[in-house]
Structure 1
């Protein structure tokens, strides 16, 4: 079995590398809009499956495609990637001093047409932040490619995250424990480190 990662995220690449899995990266531009009636985990799962559908015709037998999408939810509001610095400041201002949920949806699709879609949830608690701290982070760490305008592995994660309930790696963009389990189930244990 050959693993194909359809993501440009350096964090997802690093997590798969840390798992010891060999993989190939394939990229396509895919529209990331979703039906407005979807909420929370359903949004992340829809986007992951939607991304996978763009690759379906290109998959060959013996290949397993992995797509993922991470969203941040504050109450029922979905915070995707910020459009600019001021949008990032706005999002972080909303999140500071509160708890929010991070959902990562994952789709695994084989060249034979088997598909598994799932998501994982992590609750993240932020301490109150000053405007100066928020602006420092946005200016120096440029979180425009991150859902909710932050990376837990960045400076803001070090100074703002007080508690996590769930997987830290899910907040980074890939619930590797679930990915590993589902890959083993889907491939009959054929995807192993170094293989």
Structure 2
């Protein structure tokens, strides 16, 4: 009676490549992968060496600041509405009117900042006659702050609307057309 071998021989791995030395001047798959990876790295390095133009960097920065302004305005609006809902029992008719106007102004400011950030408008786009987007947003912001301050709640959230406006004021000044020196 023949006994079976307690340790059978390992079966050959079908994925394993045969142990054949490559001919000189040829590359194996693993060497080709390494070479391709280093080629990708060299390509990425050459792409990073090519810098953006100053105008493209300025536009990207302006768009990021406009997105930041929209989020900051939304955040200030959340705090303003939160303060209004906590003290709504002491509101009279004029306070409710101011609250509604403040919320509508907040929505208009957020929509304007998002439109500018998405590239649909610029801060210098004319909206109403001689008024551009920045000047119109300034009027809307002043109305929102006044209505927020007149509502009997915390004034700090209404004043927080000044920060995003200050960023747009700075960006509006950056985009000025340069006049030639006399």
Normalised to the residue count of structure 2, the TM-score between the two structures is: 0.26
Higher radius of gyration, 1 or 2: 2
Q: Which has the higher strand share?
A: 1
Normalised to the residue count of structure 1, the TM-score between the two structures is: 0.25
